[in-house]
Amino acid sequence: MIRVWQGDITTLNVDAIVNAANSSLLGGGGVDGAIHRAAGPELLAECRNIGGCPTGEARITKGYDLQARHVIHTVGPVWRGGDQDEDGLLASAYRNSLALARQHGLTTIAFPAISTGIYGFPPDRAAGIAVKTITNEAPDLQITLVAFDADTARLLTKAIQ
């Protein structure tokens, strides 16, 4: 089951919110910065101990001051024109996040629009990959696709239909 919701992912009361992290896992701008601010400094301390995460993979931490019990940190690809396996790496980021959720028995998961901000992935293309990967990998989980702005909400809704 997939729904689209527009707003700030850090406010959601779910088993896990997914963070569009960078490979250092040491925080950054965009949704990553918002999640670290809302979770508090203990999140950064746990992330430091993980020692990074390659593009397309995912790592799980606690949620600390967030409503969400866990944060799944995944690293989407930087868009470099489309011939550097960006599509495959974005699909892997979704797939590995869902696999990690499943391993931990989590069923309600919220994703931001991974890679479509600072990393420059075309948002319509990313929406299609997100919906296709979730539909194939996790038809049994309750997934919220979080749009921060109305344009992204429209693209995600279109991708589901």
Binding site for ligand ADP (CB under 6 A): 8-10, 20, 30-32, 34, 76, 112-119, 146, 148-149, 152
Shortest CB 83 distance to ligand ADP, Å: 19
Is residue 134 within 8 Å of residue 101, measured between CB atoms?
A: no
What's the rounded Cα separation, in Å, for the pair 65 and 78?
29
Taking the complex as a whole, the smallest distance from the CB of residue 114 to ligand ADP amounts, in Å, to: 5
Sign for the CA dihedral angle at 15, 17, 22, 27 comes to negative
Question: Considering beta carbons, is residue 32 or 137 the nearer one to ligand ADP?
Answer: 32
Task: Tell me whether residue 105 or residue 160 sits nearer to ligand ADP (CB atom).
Answer: 160
Q: Least separation, in Å, of the C-beta of 100 and ligand ADP?
A: 17
Query: In whole angstroms, how far apart are CA 95 and each of 37, 38, 43, 112, 151?
Result: 26, 25, 23, 14, 24
**Nearest alpha carbon to residue 122 among 92, 161, 160, 86:** 86
- Is-catalytic flag, 65? no
Nearer to ligand ADP, 15 or 32 (CB): 32
The catalytically annotated residue of 32, 140, 149, 151 is 32
Query: How far apart are CB 96 and ligand ADP at their closest, in Å?
Result: 15
Neighbours of 114 (CB within 10 A): 24
Nearer to ligand ADP, 28 or 46 (CB): 28
Looking up tokens 């539909």, which residue turns up?
135
Q: Backbone phi, then psi, for 71, in 5-degree steps?
A: -120, 130
| Active site (catalytic) residues | 32
